[in-house]
Structure 1
Amino acid sequence: MVKRTGEDSPSQPLKDGERQVDDVDMIGTLEHEMGEFEDVWGDDLESDEEIVIAGDDDNDDELLQQDDEKDMPLEPNASNVYLPSRPLGENEVLEADQSAYELLHSVNVTWPSLSFDVIRDNLGEERQTFPQTVYFVTGSQADITKNNQLTILKLSQLYKTHIDDDASDISDDSNIDEDSLLESRTIPINGGTNRVRVSPHYHHGTLVSTWNETGKVYIYDIATHVSSFDVPGTVIHPENNKPIHIISNHKTEGYAMDWSGLVPGKLATGDNDSKIYITSREEASWTTEKAFFGHAGSVEDLQWSPSEKSVFASSSSDSTIKVWDVRNKKRSFALSVTAHPGTDVNVLSWNKKVSYLLASGADDGAWSVWDLRNFKGENPSPVASFKWHTAPITSIEWHPTEDSVIAVSGADDQVTLWDLSVELDEEEEASRKEMARNGAEIPNQLMFIHQGQESIKEVHWHPQIPGTVITTALSGFNGSLLLCEID
């Protein structure tokens, strides 16, 4: 089942120190069938089918009774599968099926946040043992300028939401009844934060940049703040809260920003005046190069290539995606495509495993995948394109290790997870066609829908915990390890 509450949970102020947080109870979810697929990139996946049900009480009881009698999942059809496009009836509510998540927690912060980023830690890669611990950083949009802050958070004692029969999934000394623990450190900042990004290199990911609404980009070293969570007696002096560098070249505010994953200390920033600057750390000093020009509108997003040190991509409100090489002395783009005609290209994500694949999300709710090898031709077409979301795409990100899996969020309050390698067998294909005839058409590649938050702004995969997705919205944060994770 799926659950939606009538109103948001009350927000509690978050202060330096620590407090307990409870599991979320306001998230809607829909999990779709998956069969045996042939991955165009060479991966084959298998998963059991699971259907999530929503309806009135009588119908739900009847369907669940039938399910128990047959001891098998219900066949999907337009009457028992809830879709966001279907309005609820007068007496209908959405109830959360906790078994759809392995991990589901929420965090209330003092002020709304438009952006956050995950901080890499030293707890190991590909970890699956519970309880889990995550570190992340967020910037605020406070009621008045002086109240804004950069907040560094450690969320620990994250136990499974859904406990199955396999006791090995729980550590021997775990206490599944224990509340999660939230600890935080704050840095006062001048103005709201449009976007925040963590360098994947410097000091194990403790170099943080914030795109400020004042038109400046601030760079902080939060190593002391992060270590204070785990090293008793760590003192955070006032100078630790000061930026180590300020980029003042931009004459207007912006949102586009990305740290290079190949060159430590190299940052690209783009503003609403169509200018892009590259800033680099060289030993103890910072250098910002002359601006790159080429867009006819605001620069909405930037992404460094995962394989070429000098190459980055940009998206703009001029409907284009452009690819640049910083070695070009003319400071102009090398490749360009009108990706989403007539609408803003809001967000980009570069596939870290298949370096010629770039995903884009637009203001009309569409998102696409591009093969950069085709950009040299005239009017290239995307290799995949979807129009499931009904409002602007606000965030898009490829899975860090699965090259066909991608997360997308939209202003329609949905976070969707997709697997582009999906190919249905004959039985599943027939089932989908039957659902389509009844007005419940679902793209084959759509794996999961996460709901319950309002005004979702960003979604990020945790790079070290397989399947973990963290989102931010005006209603707070949610981190979820999904039952449909790809192993």
Structure 2
Amino acid sequence: MSKRAAEDHANGGVSLKGGDRPEKRDLEDEVGEFEDEFEDEYESEDEILEAGVDGRPDAEREAEEKADAMDVDHQTFIVGRNKLKDNEVLAPDLSAYEMLHTLSTPWPCLSFDIIKDGLGDNRKSYPATMYAVAGTQAEHKREKENQLMIMKFSGLSRTERDQQEEDDSSDEEDEDSDPILESTSIPFTSATNRIRAHQTPASDSSRPPTTLTASMTEAGQVLIHDVTPHLASFDTPGTVITPQQNKPLSTLRMHKSEGYAVDWSPLISTGKLVTGDNNGSIFLTTRTAGEGWATDSRPFTGHTGSVEELQWSPSEKNVFASASSDGTIKVWDVRSKSRTAALSVQVSNTDVNVMSWSHQTTHLLASGADDGQWAVWDLRQWKPNTSSSSPSKPTPVASFNFHKEQITSVEWHPTDDSIVAVAAGDDTLTLWDLAVELDDEESKDTGGVTEVPPQLLFVHYMEKVKELHWHPQVPGTLVGTGEAFNVFKTISV
């Protein structure tokens, strides 16, 4: 097990730091003798006030000030849209964050999942602790250095601003600490394209649940591991993980190409997952009574492109959805003997990379595409297929094209069905509030920045962000992965 302090500087934010402010001048030393340059031109105080403090008519001065204000608006820096100059860097506005940390791993982890723990729900105290699993993406020449990482993030404190504000009201909470990343790993010989975790309840209430992971590798295999002992080792000093505990419970080899789509059913506690590949095939794998794993020999087929994302319905145990590079999202019923989709909808003219099924309002589905557009769909408006070759084209409930690069991750807030988090190839992670609607008067007052939708709550800069997840037990907390892990909570959510 390795243990090291994490970097506490931010990799994101919304404010621009482009240099130092000019030093304030000492007016008392330089003002000298005051001369009234207007004393011969104006005879009374009223005339001076009418002309304005600078000697010009008010109308002329106000017109110039308005022009200057418009010029500033035109120069507003939009993160992800505008490009930084060579001598400019982005720095976070810490006043906008309740918590912000960056934690680095030996190799980038382009996919991860958060592990629900036994520390309690709705946690608001600091420093915070959380657990996660991730798969690395080592360089091709160093593939043998890849690993499945089981991680514990601890010492996640508030920003310094919040700590100072809380000092007078609480002596016990928010202890100052350095963020720490502890990890134990399982050796892999291939990079991980996607990883998802699943917990099965323990037969004995005094024991923790069993935590399983499914890793879709670059080699096209799906590896299923039991990482329960690895998670327990963080809180039991001296624990040694045996080679047997590092071995997969099962290695699934039914895919003929690599893939990026994996999901466990949240409604089947014993373990059932679907996996999809670049050939457009989707396979169903179920845990058997003898603790083995059985994969259906017949795949679900119908996509003409790669399967990019799979998600089970949060309310129907036999239903899952798939997103594809063919621009469609399909909804499937595992009981179908034909193995064809029940619904097929054309949601984009480009690749549909990601999607998210709302757990609060289960007829809502969000999608993110390669052209930077993300949208929200009402599944009640989707009609059953009349022809598998001609998918329907309903209208989205909402659609946004703020991002100009591909959408790499999208996820609904776990308890608020109006909040959505989106990650994109423009190095930004954005938060959106779908409940915001502007009337005609409000829509006129946009501060001159017409490219920013009113539903956009927050923009976090994060280098090469690939995937994000809300923490289900620490309200409002987001974890994102790219070049490093970012753990943050904004004051707006």
Which bin holds the TM-score, normalised by the shorter protein?
0.7 to 0.9
CA distance in 1, matches of 2:4, 2:85: 39
Find 1:237's aligned residue among 220, 236, 242. Answer: 242
* CA distance 1:80–1:169, shift in 2 (3 Å): farther
Cα distance in 2 for residues equivalent to 1:234 and 1:90: 49
Amino acid across the alignment from 1:471: G
* 1:255 aligned partner, one-letter code: Y
Q: Give the root-mean-square deviation of aligned CA atoms.
A: 2.5
1:280 to 275, 286, 297: 286
CA shift for structure 1 position 18: 1.0
* Structure of higher RCO (CA pairs closer than 8 Å, 6+ residues apart): 1
Contact 2:409–2:468 (Cα < 8 Å) also in 1? yes
The one-letter code matched in structure 2 to 1:458 is E
Higher Cα radius of gyration: 2
- In 1, Cα distance between the equivalents of 2:70 and 2:153? 39
1:170 Cα deviation from its structure 2 partner: 5.8
Is this contact kept in 1: 2:94–2:161, CA < 8 A? Answer: no
In structure 1, what is the Cα distance between the partners aligned to 2:266 and 2:102? 29
Q: Given the superposition, is the C-alpha separation of residues 309 and 409 from structure 1 closer, same or farther in structure 2, using an over 3 Å criterion?
A: same
Give yes or no for contact 1:53–1:60 (8 Å, CA) kept in 2: no
Contact kept? 2:366, 2:375, Cα under 8 Å:
yes
- Residue pair 1:54, 1:60 contacting (<8 A) in 2 also: no
Contact 1:291 1:331 in 2 (8 A): yes
**Is 1:315 equivalent to 2:329 in the alignment?**
no
State how far apart, in whole Å, the 2-side matches of 1:465 and 1:388 are. 28
Q: CA deviation at 1:171?
A: 6.3
Cα deviations across residues 178-218 of structure 1 (Å, max 9, x unaligned)? Answer: 21222110100121100111114456361011001111100
- Counterpart contact for 1:408–1:417, Cα < 8 Å: yes
Within the candidate set 223, 227, 233, 1:222 is matched to: 227
Pair 1:80–1:401, CA change in 2 (3 A)? farther
- 1:370 matches 2:370: no
The answer on whether the counterparts of 2:266 and 2:312 sit within 8 Å (CA) in structure 1 is yes
Distance 1:306 1:140 in 2: 28
- Gap change, CA 1:88 and 1:218, over 3 Å in 2: closer
Indicate yes or no: 2:183 matched with 1:184. yes
Q: Which amino acid aligns with 1:275?
A: S
1:322-471 matches, within 5 Å, as: 322-341=330-349, 343-376=350-383, 378-424=392-438, 428-432=442-446, 434-436=447-449, 440-451=450-461, 453-471=462-480
Distance 1:169 1:332 in 2: 60
Q: Which runs of structure 2 are paired with 1:89-238 in the superposition (5 Å)?
A: 92-143=88-139, 144-164=142-162, 165-167=165-167, 172=172, 174-176=174-176, 178-201=177-200, 204=209, 206-238=211-243
Query: What secondary structure sits across from 1:263 in the alignment?
Result: coil
Tell me the equivalent position of 1:18: 3
In structure 1, stretches of 5+ residues that fail to align are 1-15, 30-51, 63-73
Counterpart of 1:219, as a letter, is I
- Mark the CA change 1:212 to 1:413 in structure 2 (over 3 Å): closer, same or farther: same
- Separation (CA, whole Å) in 1 of partners of 2:473 and 2:24: 40
Task: Write the deviation string for residues 91-150 of structure 1: whole angstroms up to 9, x where unpaired.
Answer: 654332112111111111111222011011000111101110011111111122211111
Equivalent residue letter for 1:411: G
Deviations 1:348-371, CA, capped at 9 Å, x for gaps: 100000000011100111111110
C-alpha contact 1:320 1:338 (8 A) present in aligned 2 = yes
Task: Measure how far apart 1:81 and its partner are.
Answer: 4.5
What's the secondary structure of 2:445's corresponding residue? helix
Q: Aligned partners of 1:256, 1:329: CA distance in 2, in Å? A: 22
- Aligned partner letter, 1:148: N
* 1:303/1:424 CA distance change after superposition, 3 Å: same
Alignment of 1:244-255 (within 5 A): 244-255=249-260
Aligned-pair CA distance for 1:285: 1.8
Give the alignment partner of residue 12 of structure 2, picking from 27, 30, 36: 27
The question of whether the paired residues in 1 share the 8 Å contact of 2:126 and 2:173 is answered with no
* 2:380 partner SS: helix
Q: CA deviation at 1:59?
A: 9.3
Structure 2 alignment gaps of length 5 or more: 26-68, 203-208, 385-391
SS at the partner of 1:444? coil
Deviation per CA, 1:12-44: give whole Å up to 9, x if none. xxxx22111231233222xxxxxxxxxxxxxxx
Do 1:194 and 1:255's aligned partners in 2 also have CA atoms closer than 8 Å? yes
